[in-house]
Amino acid sequence: MASPTIEAMLFQFEIEQLYYWEAALLDERRFSEWLSLFTLDAHYWMPLRRTVMANDSEHEFTKPGAMALFDDDKTMLEMRVKKLATGYSWSEDPPSRTRHIITNVRVLSQQGDETTVEANFHLYRTRLEADEDSWIGRRRDVLRRVDGELKIAKRDVFLEQTLLRSRNLSNFF
């Protein structure tokens, strides 16, 4: 592997700072600010994962357009955030306490003004007196520079779990 340039290291740092800021916004329940990290045409998708045999690995995740845990555009994300803000979202009243851990941030490709980035995550949540949930996976994002700032234009979330034991799936990944 060739030594990275100063520009590449600075760009990597900028991406990592975006992800750390995003994690802080989510953990502090500053969802309206979190929405500002997304482009107007953003797409947020989390397919279902199935246990399949090794020779059938191309069917492990559902495909775009098929059943998914999330298949949201920016308007749908805004609606979810507005519902949380009303205080009438039973799945988040009382609110969850979360911690987002982001690691292994890797730039996969760059084409024009878009950069594809993959990162691993661990989302830990506690709720009520004793509910605990833990989701682990990877995110593949397309980042785009808009007015000088990196924004999330597309997010695909791939969970490691095939069976979700949580009572709801009301958090953002």
The string of pLDDT tens digits covering residues 111-154 is: 999 999 999 999 999 988 889 999 999 999 999 999 999 999 99
Residue type for position 14: E
Q: Report residues of the chain scoring pLDDT below 70.
A: none
Measured distance CA(31)–CA(29) in Å, rounded: 5
Domain 6-159 carries which CATH code? 3.10.450.50
Segments making up each domain of the chain, as ranges:
6-159
CB 119 within 8 A of CB 104: yes
Residue 29, C-beta contacts closer than 8 angstroms, at least 6 positions apart: 84, 95
**Which tokens belong to 66?**
């098929």
CB 53 within 8 A of CB 164: no
Measured distance CA(105)–CA(124) in Å, rounded: 19
**Residue 163: predicted pLDDT:** 87
**Residue 169: predicted pLDDT:** 87
